[in-house]
């Protein structure tokens, strides 16, 4: 799921790639293998090998793809709109997602995981809903597809996995539904991935 | 401390600004006030009001400053080096910092806070040390000052606050010491800020 953003970016930009599935649970977590650690010392997915580089961190990968393969664009041309897209993307990638990833949930303990994840997502979505009510058009910021959607769709899928009630977030739900009709989101949906 | 990155960016770029101190502990946390929430619905510092915009999320703010006030640059010109800078910045901003911020520490409980924070930082620094051993010159990526340093210096200060032993991270420690001699890092050091 954490690789979702990158898979959607690759699909939107029409970049062919080979997937090496890393099962985060099997064998005690394949991300801890020596082989994977040479790819990404942070022991987290995703890591992308491209142009002789290995890049970790989803947003860093997407920025590199945007700078080297600019079509179709994932950031608006207007700097103010770019700032909104980056604020939304970072809010999800830095203030929600890291707090509900597998290593944190392990620390929190099995009996508290669901409540913890729900609280983290609800707090982030309350902020996100307020921001999107100001910025959204057809999508997160106006009517352009952008990096922000790449972050939103996998995060809403996570919220559903943790049974978060989405009723208080009508703008988030509406944009997510619109985005899911795009082909790039369909080919990269988690249920289509090798496990 | 979470505003450190932005303060250093503003200082490096010579941008004058007015600080409104938000005490995260006083009055039950001033970031929860209605007034601050209209600035940043995420109830987190920092938020920057600039050019008629209000931007939350440190890296989104720094990217906006870089795009609208490009001198001196905080991202290298070469896309591959930019990717390294962004990977390091995001590793700190997404995989370390959110896990040791005040709201998470509250959830973890007083008696477990120190162990939790130390574990999070040690895990992140182990990865960061490996990455920096490949990318570093005088600074994080080669010899240019960049966004990555803005993230590194406040994070090392946090590590020291949580009494993390820095001996296993010689590259991190060395770069941090070199950076601390720069004027921008001195004027924006936490001990110089209003409380």
Closest C-alpha among A156, A56, A105, A131 to residue B131: A56
Q: What is the DSSP string of B3-41?
A: THHHHHHHHHTT---------SSGGG-GGGSHHHHHH-T
In a 13 Å sphere around the CA of B54, the CA atoms on its Cβ side amount to 13
CA distance A45 to chain B (A): 12
Expressed as residue numbers, the domain containing B40 is: 4-71+186-192
Residues B84 and B168 in one domain: yes
Domain end point (choices A55, A71, A87): A71
Query: In 3-state terms, what secondary structure has residue A53?
Result: strand
ipTM of the complex: 0.85
Q: What pLDDT is attached to residue A3? A: 74
Residues B8 and B41 in one domain: yes
Domain end point (choices A71, A96, A124): A71
Per-residue model confidence as pLDDT tens digits over B36-75: 666 666 666 688 999 999 999 999 999 999 999 999 999 9
A156 pLDDT more than 70: yes
Q: The domain spanning residue A153 has which CATH number? A: 1.20.1050.10
- B103-109 average pLDDT score: 81
Residues A109 and A151 in one domain: yes
Confidence grade of residue B194 (pLDDT, cut at 50, 70, 90): very low
Distance CA A1, CA A124 (A): 18
- Which residues of chain B have a CB within 8 Å of the CB of A78? none
Q: What pLDDT is attached to residue B180? A: 85
Residue A195 domain-assigned (yes or no): no
The number of domains in chain B is 2
For an interface test with B, the pick among A37, A74, A95 (most B C-beta atoms closer than 10 Å) comes out as A95
Residue A13 domain-assigned (yes or no): yes
Q: Is B146 on the interface with A (CB under 8 A)?
A: no
Q: Is B126 on the interface with A (CB under 8 A)?
A: yes
Residues A58 and A94 in one domain: no
Residues A114 and A133 in one domain: yes
Closest C-alpha among B8, B12, B141, B127 to residue B82: B141
Residues A67 and A110 in one domain: no
A193 pLDDT more than 80: no
Select from A41, A67, A91 the Cβ nearest to the Cβ of B79. Answer: A67
Residues B66 and B84 in one domain: no
Per-residue model confidence as pLDDT tens digits over A75-125: 999 999 999 999 999 999 999 999 988 878 887 888 989 999 999 999 999
Q: Which residue of A has its CA nearest to B43?
A: A127
- Which residues of chain B have a CB within 8 Å of the CB of A98? 94-95, 98-99
Contact A67 B90 (CB under 8 A): no
Residues A178 and A100 in one domain: yes
Distance CA A92, CA A89 (A): 5
Residues A63 and A86 in one domain: no
* Number of helical (H) and strand (E) elements in chain A, helices listed first: 9, 2
Query: In 3-state terms, what secondary structure has residue A66?
Result: helix
Q: Is B166 on the interface with A (CB under 8 A)?
A: no
Residue A191 domain-assigned (yes or no): no
Residues A61 and A90 in one domain: no
Residues A34 and A126 in one domain: no
Q: The domain spanning residue A61 has which CATH number? A: 3.40.30.10
Select from A53, A79, A93 the Cβ nearest to the Cβ of B67. Answer: A79
């Amino acid at each position: 799921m954490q690789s979702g953003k990158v898979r959607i970016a690759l699909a939107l930009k029409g970049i062919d790639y080979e997937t090496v599935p890393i099962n985060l649970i099997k064998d005690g977590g394949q991300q801890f293998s020596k082989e994977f650690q040479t790819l990404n010392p942070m022991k987290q997915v995703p890591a992308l090998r491209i142009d002789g580089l290995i890049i970790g961190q989803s947003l860093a990968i997407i920025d590199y793809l945007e700078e080297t393969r600019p079509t179709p664009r994932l950031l608006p041309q207007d700097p103010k709109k770019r700032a909104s897209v980056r604020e939304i993307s970072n809010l999800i990638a830095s203030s929600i997602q890291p707090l509900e990833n597998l290593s944190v949930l392990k620390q929190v303990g099995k009996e508290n995981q669901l409540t913890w994840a729900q609280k983290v997502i609800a707090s982030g979505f309350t902020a996100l809903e307020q921001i999107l009510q100001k910025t959204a058009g057809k999508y997160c910021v106006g009517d352009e597809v952008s990096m922000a959607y790449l972050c939103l769709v996998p995060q809403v899928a996570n919220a559903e996995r943790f049974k978060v009630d989405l009723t208080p977030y009508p703008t988030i739900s509406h944009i997510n539904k619109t985005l899911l009709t795009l082909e790039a989101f369909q080919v990269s949906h988690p249920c289509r991935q090798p496990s």
